Amino acid sequence: MLQRTLSIGFIWMFAAALRAQSGLSIGVLLKFDNEPGHAFLQSLERELGEVMADSSIRLNWVFEQRHGESWSRVFNVTLHGACSGALAPRIKPGIHITLAHSISQDGSILPYAELDCDRLKSFLQTEREARFGRAAGRVLAHELYHVLLQTPAHSETGIAKAVQTPAALLSRSLRFRSEDLERLRCLR
């Protein structure tokens, strides 16, 4: 019985290792205008990591690229404004604002995104850094979707939806729809 348990355990570990190797590895290079709060950063990393894990994509957090590091791809993110601290003035309900964007050139979506922390904070109306970080992770997952799939298109539901509400970004769970996950899983 012990030998069978060890064999099953080894097979499971081997399969998990193969899955990890077959997935895409992305270096996420974060740059900030202002030093973020610890709870914000921890929550952002956890949420974006969990969202992308569903697609078999592994994220490697980088704050300063060092010689010799390499990944399948790099996603450069600049977070503007104050990613911690007091609330910014409320944005009027019903007004559509851009919280983040990817950068395009000659029809290609480049691996660069910018997120406006002040605008996101105004939109969400929360001072709780952990909730704010979770929402920022979801916004960045949306931008990473555009970059990886090289599409300006949006989905009808989920993270890849064009317009989100504060309630959706702060909800307990906002993920990619299954069709979007499948497209992400096919990337190499």
Q: What is the pLDDT of residue 67?
A: 64
**pLDDT averages per 10-residue partition of the chain, 188 residues:** 44 40 82 93 96 93 75 93 77 79 94 95 87 96 97 96 94 94 92
Q: What is the pLDDT of residues 135-174, one digit of tens each?
A: 999 999 999 999 999 999 999 999 999 999 999 999 988 9
CATH of the domain at 119: 3.40.390.10
Look at residue 35 and tell me if it is in a domain. yes
Look at residue 1 and tell me if it is in a domain. no
Which residues constitute the domain of residue 161? 25-185
- Pick left, alpha or beta for residue 158 (phi over 0 → left; psi -120 to 50 → alpha; otherwise beta): left
Look at residue 48 and tell me if it is in a domain. yes
Model's pTM, two decimal places?
Answer: 0.83
Look at residue 2 and tell me if it is in a domain. no
- Give the number of domains in the chain: 1
Look at residue 139 and tell me if it is in a domain. yes
* Chain mean pLDDT for the chain: 85
Residue 71 burial class via C-beta count within 10 angstroms: exposed 0-12, middle 13-18, buried 19 and up: middle
Look at residue 160 and tell me if it is in a domain. yes
| β-pair type (58-62, 73-80) | unpaired
Look at residue 6 and tell me if it is in a domain. no
Q: What is the pLDDT of residue 18?
A: 39
Q: CA nearest 77: which of 28, 145, 147?
A: 28
CA distance 109 to 34: 26
